[in-house]
Amino acid sequence: MKSVSSGTHEVHFEDLALAALNQFLGQKRYSKVFLLVDKNTKIHCLPIFKKLIDHPIDATIEIKPGEINKTIATCVKVWQELSQQGGDRKSLLINLGGGVVTDLGGFVASTFKRGIDFINIPTSLLAMVDASIGGKTGVDLGALKNQVGVINQPKMVLILPQFLKTLEERQLTSGFAEMLKHGLIADKKYWNELIQGVDFFNAKHIQYSITIKNTIVEQDPTEQSIRKKLNFGHTLGHAIESYFLEKPGLKTLLHGEAIAIGMILEGYLSHELTGLSKLERDEIKKVMLTHFNKISFEPVDIEIILDLLQHDKKNEHGNINFVLLREIGDAAIDIKVPFALFAKAFAYYKES
């Protein structure tokens, strides 16, 4: 399957990915090769990966899994371990895991001794279709997601769909939310194809999603304009995700689960503000609720979520800018939303 070229690096798929990795490690003379995993990928992915790679790994560093550990405290542990294990400026870090491992590992590598090389091998569908392009690295600061990070590119990204077999269904579905988003913001035909059903273990749709994201990011790497389209569903979605992450006793929502709610809510706003038809608004809601369970929000929940929204990093000069749809496949950026509409959007989400 054809590699996707993302300016400074390539995204390779399946067999070609392994050939590219082994060739790269053979050519580059890294002083040490470190591997970053979490508890889950250590158990499920590392044994597979070790059979595929020709080059020795000097040390494997393990972090605790989950968004709740995507923190500066975890970074400190990884920086320390790299240092203790003799990591230097010519070391390489391979991040083998979901978005937490690739986001945090990318940030740790970008800042260790002012920057060492890293390679991302996303093992979750979400990380494959989302984190593999764009160079966003970073960690959360308390409830505020991705507050600390840098934009920096990996040396290469490897997509090996066989790792998806190690995932629970819920994790796969979470990643599917981002693929649906790619259809919604850029390609109605792709959206229609996706809602017919997808075989995740064939990299075809993953590659298509990556190509959509790459085309957008290449036109606007620093997110001044059209790259913002990728935030569809994320402005409210992030606030919802943060809220569930923080609230004691609450089940954590996966990223895609929160974004799916965000897309329904922002679909509602799109109908109100940017001309999305009622039919398409309702189609988005229906598709999302086919894949994602409905969550019940109390008025007090909504109040806190809207508070968190004020802190979202896309919030500039105190205004909250949304990406909304004109129609499925066409998104508008920098749309201001009257505050009163948020409660109505949640009411629309709630109604059956």
Binding site for a copy of itself (CB under 8 A): 31, 72, 75-76, 79-80, 83, 86, 88-90, 107, 110-115, 136-138, 141-142, 144, 146-151, 311, 313-318
- CA-CA distance, 240 to 234, in Å (whole number)? 9
Q: Are 94 and 35 in contact (CB under 8 A)?
A: yes
* Residue type for position 138: G
Q: Which is nearer to a copy of itself, 7 or 86 (CB)?
A: 86
CB of 103 to a copy of itself, least distance (A): 11
- Least Å distance between CB 264 and a copy of itself? 26
At 142, which amino acid appears? G
The packing angle between helices 255-273 and 340-350, to 10°, is: 120
| Between 67 and 223, CB nearer to a copy of itself | 223
The least distance separating a copy of itself from the CB of residue 253, rounded to whole angstroms, comes to: 22
Q: Residue 337 burial (CB < 10 Å; 0-12/13-18/19+)?
A: buried
Nearest CA-CA partner of 154 in 214, 101, 205, 110: 110
Q: Which is nearer to a copy of itself, 120 or 137 (CB)?
A: 137
Q: How far is the CB of 147 from a copy of itself (least distance, A)?
A: 6
Question: Strand, coil or helix: what is 272?
Answer: helix
Nearest approach in angstroms of CB 311 to a copy of itself is 7
Cβ 117 vs Cβ 159: under 8 Å: no
Decide whether 79 or 297 has the Cβ nearer to a copy of itself: 79
Q: List, in sequence order, every residue forming a beta bridge with 122; answer none if it has no partner.
A: 97
- 95 by Cβ neighbours in 10 Å (0-12 / 13-18 / 19+) ranks as buried
3-state secondary structure at position 254: coil
Locus of tokens 């979520």: 305
Which C-beta is closer to a copy of itself: that of 165 or that of 313?
Answer: 313
**Residue reference for tokens 């109605």:** 188
Residue (111 or 166) nearer to a copy of itself, CB: 111
Closest to a copy of itself by CB, 138 vs 161, is 138
Are 128 and 206 contacting, i.e. CB atoms less than 8 angstroms apart?
Answer: yes
In the structure encoding, which two tokens stand for residue 102, read together?
């690739």
For the bound state, the minimum distance from the C-beta of residue 92 to a copy of itself, rounded and expressed in Å, comes to: 13
